[in-house]
Chains A and B, each alone.
Chain A
Amino acid sequence: MSVQTGERVRVMRSWEWARPVRPVRREVLSALPELEEGQPPLLFVPGFGHGAWAYAEHWLGHAAARGFPAYAVSLRGHGGSDPAPEANLRAYAHDVVQVAAGLPRQAVLVGHGAGALVVAHALARYPARAAVLVAPVLGGWATFGAALRRNPFGTVPAVFGGRLRLSRRQLFSRGLPDADARRYAARLGRAARRAQWQLLTGADPEPAVGRPSVLVLGSPDDRVVPSSALTRAARRYGSAPLLFPGMGHDLMLDARWQEPIDAILDWLVKNPTRDDRA
């Protein structure tokens, strides 16, 4: 399941070198296993509007309990990180790479929603040990079309720089108690205008460096990401998606949050390491 390396490698990056991303203070939440068990660190990247808190609810603690050092970053302008109304996708990917490179060992990147697109960009700039794309929103007009059909009133304003509104019904299944759903929805923020716009028009991610294996998972009942998008995303990385029927878009917060995280951790335990594949 290694990434296709059909695309061309980029060596020269004059613009990026000449215009480094503005540094900001980033919020990183973590849960660490009591005993170091030799598992790679996981870095969870939330989608637009979400902060590290979304993973801190269940997934961080659960991963740590299963022996994985687990970290979650809030992209700039989200959660407890510094505000960044001018942010673009490059700045978000920079945040992810900065935190990943600051971890003691080579990390697994896990991105949810548009955070999966941020991870896909980060993979071109950091040789992750592996990557997991959860209900990925990889952008482009197809994503837009789907969002428009399912949630026209939430989506249209975003095109004009307004906030992308996702309803509780899109994010969670009916299995989640209403009080929880309300509480989570109240915490949602918004991504920067330029980043939202780049979801539609931005360039495709460059090829990943370091040959990471990539797992794609999601729900066929996700009302943000249609199944076809899951299949497309998985195919891009040479695999098929793992599916969790009956769940909403926010798999890490929904009632049955434990199933997907267990599947991710099982996959990581089984996933052949690079040395074995050599």
Chain B
Amino acid sequence: MPTPTEHGRPDPETTTLAHSRDGRPVSDRGDTVCVIGAGASGLTAVKNLAEHGFGVDCYERETGIGGAWNWRHDRSPVYASTYLISSRPFTQFPDFPMPDDWPDYPHHSQLLSYFERYADHFDLRRHIWFGTEVVRVEPVADDRWDVTTRSTGGYGPERTSRYAAVVIANGHNWSPKLPRYEGLEQFRGEVMHASSYKDPAQLRGKRVLVVGAGNTGCDIAVEAAQQASRCWHSTRRGYWYAPKYVFGRPADQVNDTLLALRVPLRVRQWLYHRTLRLTVGDLTRFGLPKPDHRVYETHPIANSQLVYHVGHGAITPVPDIGRFHSHSVELADGRQIDPELVVFATGYLPRFEFLDAKILGDDEGAGRPRLWLNAFVPDHPTLAVAGLVQPDSGVFTLSHWQAVLFARLLRLRATRPDRAAAFAKRVRAGAGQRYSGQVKDSTRHWFEVGHADYLRALERALRNLEGK
């Protein structure tokens, strides 16, 4: 059974009953908005919708809040040593700062406690149904939505409720993306995706191959350098390994100083390259491949330790994997290595199984929605996705403003339909727009946005909507 929190929502039986297309009873939730997921993005959606006067029902399949940052959750991608990569000012919600005596880059356990405090401070839990999974979301007449839930794990009956609007905040960093390789089935060693990596003890004393140099791959390679008996790090291209501090300050704060001065991207890239060259130097001397792109054209890596351990010889950089054999791995350059454990830190893919892919404009079913501002859905004015962004900063500021914009849009639908209609037009025209400079073609960049470009676009949308 679902576990309602103290207050819970009113008993659906007391509301008018409608029926779904296939005749199942539907409890009508009136003007209430449904939020899917109580991670950071879902929480800020609940808070901002409630603040704008909406009733909110939030469904969360886990038993607690925090999503990815609740590392006890089975699907949490966070491991024991995860620290933020975006410094505090870029990571906190804009209207609920983290304590200023916290470190520049807090630990994941601090982040969870921050979200817990946010939920308590704004009394959000009374809106949340824990242990309840959304299994279907279907559009019905008048831009309303039928949302079907059941208790996580599939026990108990399904229930369907009708909502005025839906915010999808289900996260996009929990469903592993696993590459295929010839011979992988015969490989006798242990293979895992980074999503099941939790603790350095899993590496201790082993010969480990880490694949991928996103922030996850780099963190795991650094831990393997200290715990494993051997560490190879395989990447299919060269990257810019940026330190967390430059010029005595968190690197993102230095970057935003330049953004505030409106220094153009090309100049910022040049300055960045120059700074790296003067500090860490040319990485090809360690056998790392030369980057095939400029900085900011792949998702930024913030890791001061990777290069350090490469310099110690504790990490051996190797190229892409060619194929697997039963006891060895053949690299693209023909070399053979013999890891006991292979960790695929190859990233994640979004999943929206509860929704017809076409609704999000993903007509080919490739898994990539086509939205405006990564959030608004053409021809579905009462549906929004929150948190489907991968910024060069923290996600939460962006989710917050997405929620504010959606809440104001919903309010204006009643009071100023002309403005809402103009907004819908912009959504249709702008679907698929990007908010970053050029990026390398990879699924990992589907949702890449430059935080400044993105927030400026969102600010414009907000002002246009309100006619200011």
Q: List the interface of chain A (C-beta within 8 A of B).
A: 7-21, 23, 94, 97-98, 101-106, 125-127, 209-211, 274-275, 277-278
Contact = CB atoms under 8 A, between A and B. Distances in A.
A106 B122 CA distance: 6
A274 B51 contact: yes
A10 B55 CA distance: 26
B51 A211 contact: yes
Given A20-B88, A101-B96, 4 more contacts: A9-B404, A15-B260, A18-B260, A211-B51
B100 A9 contact: no
Contacts of B401: 11
Given A11-B401, A18-B257, A20-B253, A105 B120 contact: yes
B459 A10 contact: yes
Contacts of A15: 257, 260
10 contacts: A11-B401, A11-B456, A14-B259, A18-B89, A97-B97, A98-B99, A101-B99, A104-B120, A105-B121, A278-B53
Q: Most chain-A CB neighbours within 10 Å: which of B88, B95, B101, B123?
A: B95
Interface residues of B, number: 37
B21 interface: no
A65 B103 CA distance: 37
B341 to A, nearest CB: 40
Contacts of B120: 104-105
Given A94-B100, A125-B95, A127-B51, A104 B256 contact: no
B355 interface: no
Interface of B: 50-51, 53-55, 88-90, 94-97, 99-101, 117, 120-123, 252-254, 256-257, 259-260, 401, 404, 452, 455-456, 458-459, 462-463, 468
A278 B123 CA distance: 16
B416 to A, nearest CB: 14
Contact of A98 (B90, B97, B259): B97
Contacts of A211: 51
Contacts of B54: 278
A126 B456 CA distance: 21
Contacts of A106: 121-123
A8 B51 contact: no
A14 B260 contact: yes
Contact of A14 (B88, B99, B452, B458): B452
